Amino acid sequence: MKANKKGRDLKPLMLSNKHNWLTPPDFFNPIRDAFNIELDPCTTADNPLGTKYFITAESNSLTKDWLFNAFCNPPFNMVKEFTAKCMRESAHQKITVVEIMANRTETAAVQTYGPYAKAFCLINKRISFIDPDKAEQMMSPTFGSMLLIFKPDPLTIAQLETLQSFGLTLGHYKL
């Protein structure tokens, strides 16, 4: 692996060069139920989370309209593009989008689009994502995860309680 822009060697921190790890169903299911999730815009053809609607990488969900409440686990190398898409689709389609990403609050994705999120949830444990090639859960990554919730209306009590069951949940309020 090459050094990043600042010359740091990131290889010792990486367990994998893959960018398309899948969300485990036991993590997803409470989110699906609380937020009425029907669309997975970042999945594989076998639709492992079993959403009613899905878009595969080959179909390029960045170019499609998301017409249903969505759960987005973007490829790690495209988080900024997908966070922008999550924000836009929530606003334009009047849908809820729950996005999972690395808990790196200093990133451009969070700093640029986070102010438009209704809430953040800083997950209190490492998630063991699913290797898409082996279809099995692997070791958790070396970083934590967070959820950004984009939605046109306030969180319900059930939604807030679901998020709080995963970790520290912060609402975003504009003055």
pLDDT tens sequence across 94-133: 999 999 998 889 999 999 999 999 999 999 988 877 666 6
Question: If one looks up domain 16-171 in CATH, what number appears?
Answer: 3.40.50
Strands 130-131 and 53-56: unpaired
pLDDT of residue 47: 87
Contact predicate 71/98, CB 8 Å: yes
> pLDDT of 27-59, one tens digit each?
999 999 999 999 999 988 888 899 999 998 889
Distance, CA of 121 to CA of 23 (rounded, Å): 16
What pLDDT band is residue 18 in, cutting at 50, 70 and 90? low
Q: What is this structure's pTM?
A: 0.84
Query: pLDDT digits over 136-169, tens only?
Result: 555 556 678 999 999 999 999 999 999 999 999 9
Residue 138: name the closest of 13, 21, 14, 45 by CA.
21
Place of tokens 């409440």: 69
Reported as a single tens digit per residue, the pLDDT across 80-103 is 999 999 999 999 999 999 999 988
Strand partners, 149: 98, 119
Domain ranges of the chain: 16-171
Q: What is the pLDDT of residue 83?
A: 97
